[in-house]
Structure 1
Amino acid sequence: MLEPTDLLGEWELDRHVLDRRAGVDGTVTGTTVLTATGPDEVRWEESGSMRFDGRTVPVSRTLVVRRTGGSWTVHFSDDRVFHPWVWGTSVSHACTPDDYTGVLEGDADRWTVRWEAHGPAKDYVLESVLRRTRTAD
């Protein structure tokens, strides 16, 4: 099982987005950077361009991964809990009215993050592939 600290550095981000409800798919290309901000905290920053439904727009997000009591948890930038960091095992995130199921897997040079959202408001799949471009300094 990889921990967030095993993945510090810069990653090439390629994400496929399939919105089954709208019948539209798109891509996100850019960069993901994981940086240690303390012994028990990693900052996860994504930035890039999203091509979706005939438009291209800039996108970015920041997550924070924290270790508490021996386990890691992914938080949104506003400190809300997103999901436990569990490698290779499905995790869930309830975001009323929809439910999200995700999995993190791969190795220290290439890893994936896959999310599926189902519910009355959403029906989509996000699959991100991250390839190492450089390790942390």
Structure 2
Amino acid sequence: MTDPTALLGTWSLTRVVDDRLAGERRDVRGSATLRLEAPGRVRWSEEGTMTWGGRSVPVSRTLYVVSDGESWDVHFEDGRLFHPWAVGAWVDHPCAPDHYRGLIEVGAGRWSVEWQARGPEKDYVMRTEHVRAEES
């Protein structure tokens, strides 16, 4: 498993959201920054522009990857648990009435996150590619 501190720095972010329920594709271009706020606490900030159907809007979010000394978990900005940080293994995030399944993969100079959301209110696949900013 890759420790999230190995990903500290700024990344170019490209995201594709294939929303099957809405029948549309949304694209995001922007950046992600991971920085150590304190031992065992990484701030993961994203900002960019989402485009679809001739429209564009600014988007942003902040997550935290927090260690309990043995493992790491991803938390929403408000502190709620999102999912375990488990590189190379599918993780689940039940969020009634829908269910989210995610996968983080890490390679040389890049990493990706895929989320599949299914349920009565959501049916999409969101894939985010990150490339070191200096390599993009």
Query: Which band: TM-score by shorter chain?
Result: over 0.9
What residue in structure 2 maps to residue 7 of structure 1? 7
Give TM-score, length-normalised by structure 2. 0.96
After TM superposition, the runs of 4+ consecutive aligned structure 1 residues lying more than 2 A away are none
Pairs within 5 Å for 1:73-84: 73-84=73-84
**Ranges in structure 2 where 5+ consecutive residues have no aligned partner:** none
- In 1, the alpha carbon distance for the partners of 2:123 and 2:25 equals 12
What residue in structure 1 maps to residue 47 of structure 2? 47
What is the CA RMSD across the aligned residues, in angstroms? 0.9
Determine whether 1:19 maps to 2:19: yes
Alignment size in residue pairs: 134
Distance apart, 1:55 and its partner CA: 1.1
- In 2, the alpha carbon distance for the partners of 1:103 and 1:70 equals 20
Q: 1:46-67, CA deviations, whole angstroms, 9 ceiling, x for partnerless residues?
A: 0000002331000000001100
SS at match of 1:5: helix
Give the share of equivalent positions with the same residue, in percent: 51
- In 1, the alpha carbon distance for the partners of 2:90 and 2:100 equals 10
User: Would you say the 8 A contact 1:2–1:108 is kept in 2?
Assistant: no
Determine whether 1:31 maps to 2:31: yes
User: Would you say the 8 A contact 1:6–1:108 is kept in 2?
Assistant: no
Pairs within 5 Å for 1:90-105: 90-105=90-105
What residue in structure 2 maps to residue 87 of structure 1? 87
User: Would you say the 8 A contact 2:40–2:69 is kept in 1?
Assistant: no
Bigger RCO (CA 8 Å, 6+ sep):
1
